[in-house]
Each structure stands twice: as structure tokens, then as C-alpha cells.
Chain A
Amino acid sequence: MTKQFLLDGQPVPFDDGQTILEAARKAGHYIPSLCWHKDFPPHGSCKLCVVKAAGRHVSACATPAKEGWEVESNTPEINGERRGLLQMLFVEGNHFCPSCEKSGNCELQALAYEYEVLTPRFRHFFPDRPVDASHPDVLLDFNRCIFCELCVRASREIDGKSVFALTGRGIGKHLVVNAESGRLGDTDFAATDAAAHICPVGVILPKGTGFAVPIGKRSFDITTIRSKTLKESS
């Protein structure tokens, strides 16, 4: 007999070793995420997949499912925490959607739509993060970085180049480029790299294609991140 746990009262079957997030999505239940990617081990940094399992808050992406667990995800308490996390991500960087090429395709924005975030709530940091336009084919706009490390992981593990890294701690944490000059143009980074297409927000942008699809006709103008995610994981 297959093992199962309860997610918001619904039985979810799982195999040994499967995480709560993987099992839930496979069974057609949505748990949000930003830093999780099926091709990499869990990172557990964005915390948007937070659920309450056996009375404790855990990251669904990094917690193996257990037989008989009662897991809460889509509740006012947990969704409120997710909203707070999204709001903190927004005020920490410079997320100015109207001028961002990624608007409409951005997962951070789509999650904020999903959880009906209407206000930044907190005081903005307005950090100073200069852009890097040195590469002929790709623009780097650090203003929108959420430190999910997807580009770091993709460049290291798929492309074998290790072009990106995170450095600094806490409020001083930032994304850096692995070149003596610190500029993307001085690396062997290519627009065909996996790392060039993995950014969930608008940091790594291919040049010359930004508005090929107009605002209003993009992924999350047409569908929700909930249905897109469930479609991809079924």
C-alpha cells in the first residue's frame, strides 16, 4: 500500500524520499516556490514553500514526506506568512515592474499576484546596485536579485562554468560575477548557457528580445503561476 500524508485534509500519496513539495505537486496540489527547481537539490532560501507539518514550520521543498503527517499549506496563517516574505523581497531590492522587461514573465511578480499583494507594507531599502551591460548578448540588472542562487547552481552544475556566486552576509549579501574585473563581459558566459535562462526574476536578461512579446500578452498576463506550475509538474 502506498504511503500518504494529509495536505490541508486531502490525502497525498508519496514514495520514500520524496519531499512534501514534490509529492503535493505530483498529486495536483499547489505549494508555491521561487528558489526550488526540479533539476537541483533543494535550496530552501526563499521559504515561500513554508508549510506547517506536525505543528512545525518547515520548507516543503526540503522536508521528506512522512506517513500520516497532517500538513497545512493553503491556510490564512501560512498564506499570510508567504505574503510577508514576498513583501520583504520587494522592499529589499529595487523592483520597479513598469520598466522591467521581465514584467509579466516574472515569478516574483506572479506570486505577488497569486497572493494578492497590494502593498509593499515595509519601508523600502532603495539599495544602490549598478547594472552590468558589459556582455554583448546578456544584461545583468542586480536591482532585482532575490538571492535564489539558481544562476549560481545552473552555471556550476549544468554549464560547468561557475560564472556567478553570492558573496557577503545578511544585508550585505549580493550576486557577483566570477571575473577579475567583476564584469560579465570578461567571462566565458554565453546566451545559450542554462544559467542565462533560469532567473525567476529580471536579473539575467537576453538583449534585443525584451519586448518581443508585449506587456499584457505574457505568461502571467494569460495564466496564473498556480496553474502554470501544476501543469508543468503533472
Chain B
Amino acid sequence: MGYTSDLLELIKRVDKTRPERVARKKAGEEFPALTLDQRKARLEKYHPDYRPGALRELKIGPSKGYSVAQEIADQFEARSRIDPDKIDLNEVHYETDVLVIGGGGAGTAAALLAEEKGAQVIIATKLRHGDANTMMAEGGIQAATKSWKDSPYYHYLDVIGGGHFENDPLLVKTMVSEAPKAIGWLENLGCMFNKWPSGSLFTLHGAGTCRKRMHYAGDITGAEIMRTLRDEARNRVKNIGVLEFSPAVELLLDDQGTCSGAVLYNLETEEYFLVKAKAVVMATGGSGRLHMQKFMTTNHYGATGDGLVIGYRIGVGVRFLHATQYHPTGAVFPEQVEGLLITEKVRGAGANLVNTDGEQFVFEREPRDIESSSIIRECEKVGKGIPVPGQAGKFGVWLDSPMIDLLEGEGTVEREFPAKFILFKRHGIDISKVPMLIYPTLHYQNGGLEYKSDGSTKVPGFFVAGEVGGGVHGANRLMGNSLLDITVFGRLAGESAGKFAVERKDVGKISVEHVRQYHKELEASGIITDRVSPMVLPDYTNPEVKKRQLTTTYIGSLR
């Protein structure tokens, strides 16, 4: 339990430099931030996206020729889980106006808004309703809500600078303009944001923000938003149905090329079945469980990029998928919490990152990709990382959380970060007294399917919301803009899909011809593979056991 004696010895060096670092912080002196040119150089030298072999050019599909992470390319360059010739398209199990694929924050927001447009809605989700990265988001949600010091104008600048000026400008404009309305909507649904007695919202800085505009609910902001949205969806049970443990594995098009539903898979009975719908909202989230470059991840169990794959197969292109976000502060010790996200709010509240000598080596509020690259540099190049006990060759740096109590008063860490405080306490570590050992961890899919401000795509009837989409964050998302993204674009996509469905007269003959075509394109491009996608669930079964799973043929219920 707790830190090893070696680590406790090293922590003394952090203790030693802390008073001076706290004094500097109190005096308003910050570690110098990198210039834009220095940022660029640091990324190119140390960010995992820039490693040779990290990316691969796609050989097929609407974004043929574009390079994405190898692991995502593997998913794109794979066969469908279903044989298009075997699916009986006359047997439709469910019919609805709007099918929402994904039961996280974006999907649930979309379902609520589609319902408000008069649509009957089905949410199909791979795990349980709410088992999603939204639930795990901790730090907060950005919005310029304080007119005496902030506005969407400054929020726009932060977003586009953080994304290295490559973001889709219109998506950014939409997100920052809709942001305060999104907060208002959540407040009206009963989301318990931290507030002053007057009702004014607490706000903090995040990395890359010029104003304090991070709204939060303790360190469980995402969970508070998710469970509120889910609760509201459950209140509208008359019009919103939920199919759990039913991931979508292909989309359906009609003879006009309009998206008309999906093929779902019952994870328990192993049946494939059809949902016919007048509009589809894709909100499957990200892909951290593909473990790009074998990095550990903060993502939930189902984040395998399913929506990217099946959206790509109906012809929607992708952008910014070359950029993967590594969150600077993933826990690396103790082993039981490895990969776990330590919210950026800890740095927002003033905690420094320090090396084995207790020295600061980076401003703690650089954008995430810069911060991560700087930590990797400190461990790999400078050689001042702290060895992770029991894991030869692994290093981390300190996140000096005790500074927060010194800056903001005794008890702040426990009050502001209750979930993390309890979690580390379980393992014998009091993070208000000793720092946390951290290293960058795979966190977010910056890019995804191409979509417009209203959630629409080039395929009629097919809408996109949240992490599965790409463009608004450019090549690097800022903290607090993901919960914002899923709320804003979830609402907009839901509204558009609801409207589209209500106005759509009828659905033509449904087909999976596009899957047949995709298979042909695979063969024509010379890709010989037995891969199938989407992945649906990652495989963590002990390989030693797998070696002994020798069933040659599945007969009856025995697998």
C-alpha cells in the first residue's frame, strides 16, 4: 500500500522545492510558456503522432490517400462482420423515426432534441446507456458565460490556437456561440454545477484558455452531465427507447442513398437484427481502446471507433484522424490505477509538473499535445523522469497536487477532487500531501467523420455528433471542449435529425449494397486480410488461456 520507500525518498526533493514554487505562483510568476514556433518544434520532435510509422495512408474509401493512425487504418481496411448476401432485408425488427447510435452524452442529447422535434427515437448502445467517455470526463465544460471578462470571441481564439489554427472555422464559431446556451440547457435540466450562493457559476482556467471559463461539478462533471441526460431520457420513455448491449455493425441505405437505419448485433444472443429509421445520428465516440502505438488509455471499454468504420463505409470522409490526443497526466502508479485520467483541473488549480530533481520543466497550462510532448521529452531526452516501481524501463513525472492546498487552503484537494482523493486513499496515497506519478496516456480522438454545423454529412439522413466527428478541435482539443462538443453538437444533430425524419415521407428499399461495394474495393486495392471491423470490444483475455480455446467449430450454444 502507498508509495515505495524509493519513491518516498524521491518525493523529498519535490517537498524541498515546493515552498519556493508556491511563493512564485502566489506572486503571479509562471514558468515561461513556449512560443508558437517552439511549440511546433517540440511537437515534431516528441509527440507520438510524429514518430516514423505512426500513420499509414488509406488505400480505400472516401479519404483514400489520407494518412491516419495505423490502428485506425486497420479498422478501415477490413471486411464487414456480416455477409451482405446473408442478411434478410425484409425482416425488420424495429422501425423508428430517429435511430441514435451511441448512448453517451452526444447520443443522449441528440435523442432528447430529436424527441422534442416530434420524432420517435431509439438509442442503440453497445454497453449500458451512459457507459461512455462522457461519464468519465472530469474537469469541466467550457463556455464564455461571464460578460464582464469573456465572450465567444475569446473562446474562439483559444479553441483555434489550441487546434493549431487548422480547425473548421464554422464549426468553432457554432460551438463557442452555442456554448452558453448548452450550459443553460443543462442547468435547466437540473445539472448541479458548482455555484456561489448567488447562483453564479464557478469557473476555472484550463490549459490554453485566456479566461477562466471552465464550469464544473466537483471532479465528476461528465458523470453529472451524463446521469442527468440519461435520467431525462428515461423520463421520456414513451418516445425514447433504448437498446443496450446492441452495437451497430453496419448502416442501411435506401435506393436513393439516404441513410435508413442500421444492422445491430445483440452481444448476448449473438443475433444480427435490423432497425429501420428515417434518420440516423452517429454518436459512438472515440477509439482509445485501439491503443495507438500500444499506449495505455483513459477511455472506457467500448471506445473502439465503431462509428468511424461504418460511417466511412457509407462514404463519409474523415479528417484530423492523423492527430491523436495524449492526455498529459495519466496515473502510472500504483499499478491498479494505471492509465487512469488525472483531470487537467489539478493543473488548472495550480499544481506544477516537476521532474525527479523537483524542478519545473514546463508551464502546466500548455495545450495538451505540447504538455505531453514536454513530459515525454523530460523522460526520454533530458533523462529526469522518475522510474515506475516494478516496471522496468517505464518513467513518469510528478504532478505536485499538494501545492493546491497551500495555494487555496487546507482541504481544497479533498473538496475539489473528491473522486480522485478517495481513489488514491484506497491505495494508501494522500494526494493532498504527496504528489502523483503521471505519464501521458491515450485520451481523445481529435478527428473523425466530416460533418457540418447542423450535424449533417454528405449522406442525407446521416448525422454526426461528438467525438466520432472531426473538425471542430483541429489537431488538438482543449480541456472542457469535449463535454461542450457533445452537448452542443448532440443537440444540433438531434434537432436536425428529428426535423429530417419528421419531414421525410417514406423510406425506399433498404440495402447493404455499399458493404458489397466496399468489399470489392478492398479486393481491388490488393488488401488481403482476415480482419473484420468494427472491433466492438477490445480483447484483454489472457493470451495463455486463448491458446487453449481450441474449439474448431461452433455447434449449438457451445462456443
A and B together in one complex: no
Interface residues of B (CB under 8 A from A): none
